[in-house]
Amino acid sequence: MPAREDGDPVERTRFRVAGTEARRADGVAKVTGAARFTVDLSVPGMAHAVMVRSTRAHARILGIEREAAERMPGVLAVLAGADLVAAGLHPYYGHVVLDHPALAVGSVRYHGEPVALVVAETKLQAAEAADLVEVRYEDLPAVIDADEALRPGAPILHHERGQRVGDEGMDQGEGALEGNVCAIARVQWGDVDAAFAKAHLVVEGEYRYPMLYGYAMEPYNALAFFDQGDLVVYSTAQHVYMVRRDLARMFDLPLARVRVSAPYVGGGYGTKSYTKIEGACAMAAHLTGRAVKLDLSVEEAMLTTRSDSSHIRCRSAFDRDGLLLAREFDIVLNSGAYTDNSPLVNSKTANRCFGPYRIPSLRVVSRSVFTNTVPASSLRGFGAPQGNIGGELQMDEAAEKLGIDPVELRLRNLAGPGEAILPGKRPLDADLREDLRCLVASLEWPGTGGVSVGFGVSASDAGAYPTSTAAVRIHADDSATLFTGSTELGQGSRTVLCQIVAEELGLSLERVAIVGGDTGVVPYERTTGASRTTTVTGRAVQEACRDARRRVRELAAQNEKVDVAAVEDAPAGVRVKDRERSYGEVIEGWFGAGGEVLGHGSVRRGEGFAQMPPFWEIGCSGVRLSVDRETGVARVEKLVTVGDVGFAINPALVHGQDLGAATMGMGAALREELVYEGEQLVNPNVVDYRVPRFSDQPPEIDLMLAERHDGAGPFGAKGAGEGAGNTIGSSVAAAIGRAIGVFPHELPATPERVWRLLRERDERARR
């Protein structure tokens, strides 16, 4: 049995604070109810807004009757998209394509789309008035299914495309964006056709991954007002700087005059990436001259953002020994009514679907497609589970057909540390073979006594662009404050970033404070997503600490009238003329009284991050499960994850990310799915859309860490947060396949689907 890699104890003791399970920086606030989330905020004179939503999937707006609503008590305004245009505002937002209106302009493209906004003194008044707003529509043909949306003659959602303002996921094939195609991604090398022609075995199939709702428990909400013409917005946004850019564009304001602040955020998981309702809320504040709060219900949140579903047609060619010769993927994503982040989801699906294997010939085409459904965007690990279900399951199916153990089949094909898995990208910074050996040892592969095992591996370019800045102030009493644009979503960024500051500056954690997530206060941060914070922001924080230390050395040199080269860093200060001076002594010595030192750090696509991605996010997880053949119910008995994170700056937080991601993955694998019947969602609430509960927890859980200090982040760390979930879908499907003799190709593997597979198999056996 391979040794577990829980970190080298010698290596770990090099650090004082990094690598320890320091308690969360937001702990007391969150257990006492004192933590303020956006939904808890109010300001004097605040009005409340409620949305009026489309009852049609695709229609022209002929008119909006608002007089009845306007006459209701407390109502300040009833706003529609046309009012925004008339007021000279730009109603469209989007970080890639400006096509998503804050309120529908001229037409609606999905059932539930915001059409009007009622602003009133109280939320109840706004809600009652909203019921009286009558919208007259002229129906247009709608298309819900992505494959149908690609057919000639399908209703077209966007006859004119919005202005392109970002390049995320649009670097390939923009010229061919015809009909309902939102984005195309291609990955290709080698002679695929020749490889398939000479293959010993070709595995071919279609696979489907469902559209999901992330259910962050704090639904989208925002509070907006103007302060001397400056726009101030508090919101549940993950990427406050991205939202700032959208709002600046919508209001023709300089970036400096838009302030977006995210206090504690009640769950993100990617669902709160990018702008959601901030534009509508800010426009209501602009047009009413009041502070306006807009807080959605969970049902409305479900009509705001979901994840892209995938339909994969793929085939894999193997030689006699199980070596991959070629893979080919044709993927269609159902991306809903607007662009949002689907181009990036699409390109990540394309570059993750084939897996971290040596593949001589490859052809991937992935298309993101507009449909008259809720707009799709990021959700934890976006693109990975959507493609993985095809790529990994075909490894399992091939192993069975070749009579080769599926672990062995993967070991033969996996790329090793330092090997390139995508031309021109960073070489693989992980040891996937060793990770897989650890995983299957804990899973007790191959499983016995009615328990079956499934597992998978992936390496993801998670889409983290390495633009990040941070500032650190060292105060005259030897304490420090970190300023970061990263938002605390629960992932523990405040804790980890403070640990990095404490480690770098030689301070105790109690002497480090953090201010985060407010564009009016903290330096620029591109996003809080793609598992980038520890690696990329963490490096900027390290740079800021080192810059602050450099400043302290300069001040000490001036104090002591020596050359700066004669000043050395000491654990919590400097050493000069054979004496240690604390930061405070140096600072007060230089200023005479009071004072502080400010350090700034930035990272960019250069230096350690010149090669993209900044790190490969590793997924290596699996399950032991049992299937009830009478009911089709699959029950996960044991979950195992290998967190290949380079170095766990806070192991407990990494475990939390791994188990959280895997639990979300199990929900999607076994139960979760947004279902359209006709033009409407049939389960747009958390009663019918059931997420994992305590009773769904596997009885046995093993969360392992692989720490090889091979990441580009601080102390050799690399990102966590998504990887553990990325392979759960295919793992569950593989385990069910081994239990019942048929691999499910469509997730979630609900009891009904499993039961049908069993019945079909029995019928085939009878024939």
Partner 1 sequence: MRQISLRLNGVARTVEIEDQVLLVELVRSLGLTGTKVSCDTEVCGACTVLLDGRPVSACTTLALEADGRSVLTIEGLAKANQLHPLQQAFIDNFAFQCGFCTPGMILAAKALLDERPSPTAEEVRRWMEGNICRCTGYQSIVDAVLDAAGRRP
- Chain contacts with partner 1 (rule: CB under 8 A): 21, 23-24, 26-37, 39-40, 214-219, 264-269, 297-298, 489-492, 652-653, 655-656, 659-660, 662-664, 685-687, 691-695, 697, 701
| DSSP SS3 for 700 | strand
Identify which of residues 482 and 666 has a Cβ nearer to partner 1 in the complex: 666
Within 10 angstroms of residue 764's Cβ, the number of other Cβ atoms is: 9
Within 10 angstroms of residue 12's Cβ, the number of other Cβ atoms is: 17
Q: How far is the CB of 236 from partner 1 (least distance, A)?
A: 10
DSSP string computed for 581-641: EEHHHHHHHHHSSS-EEEEEEEE-SSGGGSSSSSSPEEEEEEEEEEE-TTT--EEEEEEEE
Q: How far is the CB of 239 from partner 1 (least distance, A)?
A: 16
Identify which of residues 33 and 592 has a Cβ nearer to partner 1 in the complex: 33
Rounded to the nearest 5 degrees, what angle is found at the Cα of 731, between the Cα atoms of 729 and 732? Answer: 70
Q: How far is the CB of 363 from partner 1 (least distance, A)?
A: 37
d(CA 658, CA 637): 17
| DSSP SS3 for 526 | coil
Q: Which neighbouring-strand residues pair with 51?
A: 117
| DSSP SS3 for 760 | helix
Identify which of residues 269 and 318 has a Cβ nearer to partner 1 in the complex: 269
Identify which of residues 361 and 491 has a Cβ nearer to partner 1 in the complex: 491
Give the burial string for 154-192 (b: 16+ CB within 10 Å, else e). Answer: bbebbeeebebebebbbebbeeebebbbbbbbebeeeeb
| DSSP SS3 for 389 | helix
Closest listed residue to residue 541, CA positions, set 479, 603, 591, 605: 603
Closest listed residue to residue 490, CA positions, set 686, 352, 364, 660: 660
Identify which of residues 510 and 578 has a Cβ nearer to partner 1 in the complex: 510
Q: How far is the CB of 720 from partner 1 (least distance, A)?
A: 13
Identify which of residues 623 and 659 has a Cβ nearer to partner 1 in the complex: 659
Check: CB of residue 297 under 8 Å from CB of residue 123.
Answer: no
d(CA 63, CA 134): 8
Closest listed residue to residue 94, CA positions, set 211, 247, 259: 247
- Which H or E run includes 219? none
Identify which of residues 624 and 753 has a Cβ nearer to partner 1 in the complex: 624
Q: How far is the CB of 23 from partner 1 (least distance, A)?
A: 6
Q: How far is the CB of 216 from partner 1 (least distance, A)?
A: 7
- Which H or E run includes 485? none
Q: How far is the CB of 690 from partner 1 (least distance, A)?
A: 9
For residue 602, CA distances in Å to 507, 512, 757 come to 22, 20, 54
Identify which of residues 31 and 43 has a Cβ nearer to partner 1 in the complex: 31
Q: Report, as residue numbers or ranges, the catalytic residues.
A: 722
Identify which of residues 51 and 89 has a Cβ nearer to partner 1 in the complex: 51
Q: How far is the CB of 37 from partner 1 (least distance, A)?
A: 7
361, amino acid identity: S
Dihedral angle sign, alpha carbons of residues 580, 581, 582, 583: negative
Give the burial string for 110-148 (b: 16+ CB within 10 Å, else e). Answer: bbbbbbbbbbbbebebbebbbebbebebeebebbbbbee
Identify which of residues 133 and 379 has a Cβ nearer to partner 1 in the complex: 379
Q: How far is the CB of 38 from partner 1 (least distance, A)?
A: 11
Is residue 400 classed exposed, middle or buried when 0-12, 13-18 and 19+ CB atoms within 10 A define those classes? middle
Q: How far is the CB of 218 from partner 1 (least distance, A)?
A: 5
Give the burial string for 346-360 (b: 16+ CB within 10 Å, else e). Answer: bbbbbbbbbbbbebe
